[in-house]
Amino acid sequence: MRWYASAVTTSSDELRRLAATKFGWTRLRPEQVEAMEHVVAGHDVLVVLPTGAGKSAIYQVPALVLAGPTVVVSPLIALQHDQVEGIEDSRAPEAVVVNSAQRADERRDAWEALREGAAEYVFLAPEQLADEARVEELAKLGVSLFVVDEAHCVSSWGHDFRPDYLRLGDVVERLGHPVVVALTATAAPPVRRDVVTRLGLRDHREVVASFDRPELHLAVERFTDDAAKRAAVTARVRGLTADPATRRGLVYAASRKEAEFHAAELARAGVRAEGYHAGMKAADRERVHQGFMADEVDVVVATSAFGMGIDKPDVRFVVHASAPESLDSYYQQIGRAGRDGEPAEVVLCYRPEDLGLQRFLTSGKSAEETVGQVVRALDEHEGPVAPDTLAEEVEAPPARRTRAVNLLVQADAVTVDGSGRLGTDPDLTPDEAVEQAVDAEQAYRRLVRSRIDMVREYAETTGCRRQHLLGYFGERLPEPCGNCDTCDAGTARRVAPGTDAFPVDSRVHHREWGPGVVMSVEADRITVLFDRVGYKTLSLRAVREQDLLDGS
């Protein structure tokens, strides 16, 4: 049976005691305890902690003192099972999973355990909450805590935006707005603001730890020839795996074809390497995952499909065979290394021409025509309709139709009710709705392109690489880190205080690019994330002399 302490009187000492006795966590980070205290006090909380900092503890412990089950929205079935297994190995109450991979009797047993109070935690994927009956079932349980894992996926500013996350704010309200905990390892200030807005957080608190991972040695190796770069990846990884102290690691590739190539090359070189990408069968992906976790595979060569939820403490290196699409995803991927706090190597093999591939991969045909069809179809109905209804009324492939709907929702040109049904905005004509969605699509494409430019700046800087990376996330590191290749080479320098006129995270306005947020200020430059055109790095001298920015 479930038991409860008083949420009002639960002290930090009691939370620490519960963490130790129920989960075996004898040491908690200050940020973990701070977030837990906000939760038991009834505040919604946005938590940004580095990979490996123990975000799950932030909801697992308070769940023991709040009267009602805890819903955890997690994007991957494998990640759900990993978290459930962790709870099963503890002395905490039962955890159950509800997902599409289960048999009907397994789902029935899970709901029964929740209704009887035998289970405290229920893990679901976001798409599961599109089912009105399932949300109604949760509402009857009196949910006390609603947890959104990988919360940056709710933000169109984020690098890993997932449309299924858009409905979560409505689900929270249908559940009576229990305490909401939004968890992520990577969220710059604009993303954090978007998460708060889209999830509808109330009277919320934010716990944001430093993005710095000082145990990671950051380096970039530059190439002009693709064949030389490929050979260097093989040589570098073979050298790292030859040393027992640095044997296990990850190689990230920009495409499935590249992942397969490097996996084969490393295997030929005698490395226990396997490829991993979304085009593989689920059983093969699971085999590689389990082999890596069990130390039967030393190196996984993967696309970005591999990473979220990978919790292996002894990953000693991460090598990028090509430039990533953004520093957001780069930071998340390198965060898989050194989770035990021990030193790890991070190497980006960089060829400027590879950024053209990223631009191609992130481009695509405009959705304007399909958007127009969706708007006209919705306009012909008197009330909201289920998304599936559009399948018969919009002549477009399912993926393109879904993308058009997502664009309209993101642009606030189409409404979504508590049951996930779509409707037209009465304040917009069909043409205005289409124009609003197309504008949103163009703004997003500009943002994506500007992120790629930020990757170029990181790869080509002669300053401290860690200072540059942290500055992208709005964090200032005054002194060179001493643990990156530019510091090793002596080209890094101390960052001057910059300017008080444009503090980090302040709003500014550019006469051509419009409003934006200051992300970082260095001795001679300022980086701003503009709402309409994405990231721009400007000379501070030009800003001052030409009066380019106004504070707001």
Task: Please give the model's pTM, rounded to 2 decimal places.
Answer: 0.80
Q: Is the pLDDT of residue 5 over 70?
A: no
Give the sheet arrangement for strand 45-48, strand by strand.
Answer: 94-98, 119-124, 70-73, 145-148, 179-184, 45-48, 205-208
Please provide the CATH number assigned to the domain covering 216-356. Answer: 3.40.50.300
Q: Structurally, what CATH architecture does the domain formed by 368-443 represent? A: Orthogonal Bundle (1.10)
Indicate the residue type of 477. Answer: L
pLDDT of residue 205: 96
Same fold? 12-208, 216-356:
yes
Q: Are 533 and 446 in contact (CB under 8 A)?
A: yes
Q: Is the pLDDT of residue 500 over 80?
A: no
Indicate the residue type of 159. Answer: H
pLDDT of residue 486: 95
Which among 4-18, 220-234, 375-389 has the top mean pLDDT?
220-234
Token pair listed for 46: 């946005």
- Residue of 479 and 399 predicted with greater confidence: 479
Q: Is the pLDDT of residue 255 over 60?
A: yes
Token pair listed for 431: 């043409």
Q: Is the pLDDT of residue 524 over 60?
A: yes
Q: Across all residues in the chain, what is the average pLDDT? A: 86
Q: Is the pLDDT of residue 410 over 80?
A: no
70: nearest Cα among 168, 143, 173: 143
Domain boundaries, the chain: 12-208, 216-356, 368-443, 496-552
Q: Are strands 317-320 and 549-551 parallel, antiparallel or unpaired?
A: unpaired
Q: Under CATH, domain 12-208 is a member of which superfamily?
A: P-loop containing nucleotide triphosphate hydrolases (3.40.50.300)
CATH 3.40.720 correct for 496-552 = no
The 3 state secondary structure assigned to 32-96 is HHHHHHHHHCCCCEEEECCCCCCCCHHHHCHHHCCCCCEEEECCCHHHHHHHHHHHHCCCCCEEE
Q: Is the pLDDT of residue 2 over 80?
A: no
Q: Are 507 and 492 in contact (CB under 8 A)?
A: no
**DSSP characters over 203-236:** S-EEEE-----TTEEEEEEE-S-HHHHHHHHHHH
165-186, pLDDT tens digit by residue?
888 998 999 999 999 999 988 7
